[in-house]
Structure formats: structure tokens, C-alpha cells
Amino acid sequence: MRLHMKILKIQHPILDDSRITYGFFTRSGGISKKPYDTLNCSFNNEDASINVKENLELVRKELDLDTIIQLNQVHSTDIITLNNRSVNYNFKEADGLVTNLKGIGLSILGADCAPILFYDNVTNMIGACHAGWRGAVSGIIEKTIIKMEKIGAKRDDITAIIGPVIHKNSYEIKKDVVDIVQDSVLYKANSSILLKKNNNQYFFDLPLLLRESLKYSKIRKIGDVEMDTYANSNLFFSHRRATHKSSQTKIKTGRQISVIGIIG
């Protein structure tokens, strides 16, 4: 794991290839004011759009990309393939992207859910997905990989990295979510995904669920930056932490961004 201090960019040693540029960014180094301080990259809150645009430009320059594509993430399993430079893919409703086009950053926003970045170093193809518990148990990882395969990637050649995400000690869930998770093939493969706290509450290990999902999809090269969005308030936005600290019904928090692109 390497930290770059201009705007804080996290990388994992398993993914180090001069043909791509990527980073899991923190909340630091931007221009947004509280409670979106400072590198908020989401337009879907009450931060000033001019600030968000400047923050995205800082990220784009840091990664030396032509452009960064953002989705309107809706906890789906829909994946978009970017195959035409003349098409505007920005803000389409989906939770994953794949491409072999150069100079285009695939981005995922998060504030507890996981960004996962994918790279096939043989065919030089990339992917990214937004994986909370809903997407994970519904198969978003497998569907991202299938989309990569459709443009020529092979599972044996794909490296996947799990970015900053809420960790087990910070993530309590109730029986309604527990029942859904326990019905999944991933829980059946590893019951350590859930730890019972009392009759109605469990601790949920989302990073472990994601690793099990990657293994289920026959991905062998798996990295995890092992950083907890909830516990590291100086580094990351966390929707759950903001919820616990506020009595308001409308929770105000930013979103950090994760981006991968093929160098043009």
C-alpha cells in the first residue's frame, strides 16, 4: 500500500503496471467545505457543484487521464461497457463499468460500500464496480467479470482490488439483512461473514463477503487495501458514521472516489 500526499491516493502492490493509472482516493486534498470537506466527488448532495468539478479535475490531473466517467449508482447489478468515445456515458444508472478505451477513467463513489477495481494485464482491459451488500449478494462482481470477458478478458488474467470499505467491527446489521446474506452462496462458503452480537444484531464482514465473491468468480489475484471507512474519519467519508453522529433525517456527507484508467 502506497500513499501519495498531494491528494491522498491509495494503491495496492498487487496492481503495479505502467500501462494503467489508478487510485483509491481519500476525503483529503480538495476544496469542498464542511461537511463535505474536502475531496467530495459526488454531485448528489448539497455540496456546490463548482467545488465537485474542481475536485474531479484534481483527481483527473493526478491520474493523467483525458476524462473521468461517473455513474448514478443505485445498488443495482447493471454494468456498462464503454466502447465508443463519442458516446456520453456520464451519470447513467448502473453500478459498474468496463472498457478497453485509453485515457478514460472508470470511477466509483463510496462512503462505506466498496469500490472494486479490475485489470486484465494480458488484454489491457479494466473494470470497476460499486459493491455494497445488496450488489454483492446479487452478483455484481460476477457480472462485471462477464462484461470484461465479452470484450476479450480472461478470468485467469484479472487482478481485482477491494478498496476502502466499512469493516466488521463497525458494521452492525439486523435480522432482515442477515436473512438475505445467510441465503447467499457466499455465506454458505464462509459463515465467518456474520458474527452474532445478540438475537437481532450481527456484525457483518463485508470485505470478507467480497473476497468470497471474487473467489467464487475464479479470480485468483485479489488485493485488499484493508482500510475501514467508518473507523478512519480523518481519511474517509462514511454514511453510517454520519448517521450515527446526526439526529437529522437528511444525512449530509461526501463521497470519496476510486478511479482506474488505461494510459493513453
Would you state the pLDDT for residue 250? 72
**Is there a domain that residue 63 lies in?**
yes
- Over 60: is that where the pLDDT of 39 sits? yes
**Is there a domain that residue 56 lies in?**
yes
- Over 80: is that where the pLDDT of 21 sits? yes
**Is there a domain that residue 71 lies in?**
yes
Could you please report the per-residue DSSP string of 121-178?
A: TTTTEEEEEEE-HHHHHHTHHHHHHHHHHHTT--GGGEEEEE-SB--GGG-EEEHHHH
Average pLDDT, the chain: 95
Q: Which domain holds residue 17?
A: 2-166+221-262
In this prediction, what percent of the chain has a pLDDT beyond 90? 92
Would you state the pLDDT for residue 6? 76
Mean pLDDT of 46-67: 97
CA 208 – CA 214 distance, rounded (Å):
10
Q: CATH number for the domain including 99?
A: 3.60.140.10
Would you state the pLDDT for residue 224? 98
Give the tens place of pLDDT for each residue, 93-108: 999 999 999 999 999 9
Would you state the pLDDT for residue 3? 55
Cell of 35: 461537511
Domains identified in the chain, total number:
1
**Is there a domain that residue 188 lies in?**
no
From 23-27, 34-38, 131-135, 243-247, the region with the lowest mean pLDDT = 243-247
HEC per residue, 215-246? HHCCCCEEEECCCECCCCCCCCCCHHHHHHHC
In this prediction, what percent of the chain has a pLDDT beyond 70? 97
Would you state the pLDDT for residue 247? 62
**Is there a domain that residue 186 lies in?**
no
- Over 70: is that where the pLDDT of 1 sits? no
CA 205 – CA 193 distance, rounded (Å):
5
Give the tens place of pLDDT for each residue, 147-173: 999 999 999 999 999 999 999 999 999
**Is there a domain that residue 227 lies in?**
yes
Cross-strand partners of 80: 97
Give the tens place of pLDDT for each residue, 68-91: 999 999 999 999 999 999 899 999
Split at pLDDT 50, 70, 90, the class of 251 is confident
**Is there a domain that residue 22 lies in?**
yes
Would you state the pLDDT for residue 114? 98
Give the DSSP H/E element, type plus range, for residue 209.
helix 206-216
Give the tens place of pLDDT for each residue, 203-250: 999 999 999 999 999 999 999 999 999 999 999 999 999 988 766 667
Would you state the pLDDT for residue 249? 62
Q: Are strands 201-204 and 104-110 parallel, antiparallel or unpaired?
A: unpaired
Mean pLDDT of 185-198: 96
Would you state the pLDDT for residue 2? 55
CB 214 within 8 Å of CB 160: yes
Would you state the pLDDT for residue 261? 98
**Is there a domain that residue 72 lies in?**
yes
